[in-house]
């Protein structure tokens, strides 16, 4: 859900507002950073007179605030918004991040920590033919069948092949050095983890050729061990 900054005006004084916003930006240059804004004019008393709405929006824009709408109860403020095609909102609306400019110090709410990402696993249950390319973006790739010569498996995470692996297997393609390759029969044309690879000419000389193996990366070296 979008978090919207609400700027509540207690008085109609653009010069004072300009100074307060400038002071806030000086303290934290990225505090606003093109933030969406609702101008709350509904607390202005009648004695304050009509607001120069275009001028108010211009001051806000100069300090990185983009006016989306206003809140207003006075007829003159509502008319000013309608004249320049700015929406007028009722007292309740989207989730808000209140900004009280009457206070000398404006405090920013702590941001919610990002939720942990969950790796997705792509599962292939049919044979992978020569010329096919299968990519598991953002997670692991599991093939519960054979992989023919000329086929290519790619994954951001690990690769598991529960069958003969005769094609190419590239794990950790976005640089994950902890990615691994597991296969029941190593007969691959190429294996690679995070850009470090071995081709079939090298693999054929390995005593694990044709066996069930696990492949991992240590520094720049691919380690092949028996499952």
Is the pLDDT confidence value at 19 over 70?
yes
| 3-state secondary structure at position 141 | strand
Residue 173, in any domain of the structure: yes
Same domain, 222 and 124: yes
Same domain, 27 and 85: yes
**Residues 176-215: tens digit of each pLDDT:** 999 999 999 999 999 999 889 899 988 999 999 999 999 9
Same domain, 57 and 138: no
Same domain, 96 and 127: no
Same domain, 222 and 141: yes
CATH number at residue 80: 3.30.70.260
Count of domains for the chain: 2
Same domain, 77 and 28: yes
Helix (H) or strand (E) holding 184: strand 181-186
Same domain, 155 and 198: yes
Q: What is the pTM of this model?
A: 0.50
In the numeric block, which tokens belong to residue 92? Answer: 């309740």
Q: Report the distance separating Cα 105 and Cα 93, nearest Å.
A: 25
Domain span holding position 33: 4-100
**Residues 31-47: tens digit of each pLDDT:** 666 777 888 888 888 88
Residue 114, in any domain of the structure: no
Identify any residues that bridge with 141 across adjacent strands, giving them in sequence order: 122, 159
Neighbours of 7 (CB within 10 A): 21
What pLDDT is attached to residue 5? 76
């Amino acid at each position: 859900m979008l978090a919207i900054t609400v700027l509540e005006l207690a008085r109609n004084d653009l010069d004072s507002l300009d100074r307060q916003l400038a002071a806030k930006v000086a303290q934290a240059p990225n505090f606003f950073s093109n933030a969406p804004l609702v101008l709350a004019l509904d607390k202005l008393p009648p004695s304050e007179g009509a607001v120069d709405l275009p001028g108010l929006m211009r001051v806000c824009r100069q300090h990185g605030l983009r006016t989306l709408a206003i809140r207003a109860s006075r007829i003159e403020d509502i008319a000013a918004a309608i004249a320049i095609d700015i929406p007028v909102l009722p007292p309740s609306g989207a989730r808000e991040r209140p900004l009280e400019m009457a206070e000398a110090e404006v405090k920013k709410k702590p941001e919610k920590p990002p939720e942990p990402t969950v790796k997705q696993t792509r599962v292939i249950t049919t044979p992978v033919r020569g010329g096919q390319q299968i990519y598991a973006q953002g997670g692991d790739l599991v093939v519960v069948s054979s992989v023919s010569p000329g086929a290519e498996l790619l994954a951001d995470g690990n690769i598991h092949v529960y069958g003969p692996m005769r094609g190419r297997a590239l794990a950790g393609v976005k640089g994950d050095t902890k990615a691994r390759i597991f296969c029941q029969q190593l007969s691959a044309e190429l294996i690679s983890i995070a850009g470090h690879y071995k081709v079939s000419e090298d693999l054929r000389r390995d005593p694990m050729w044709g066996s069930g193996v696990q492949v991992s990366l240590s520094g720049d070296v691919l380690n092949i061990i028996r499952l």
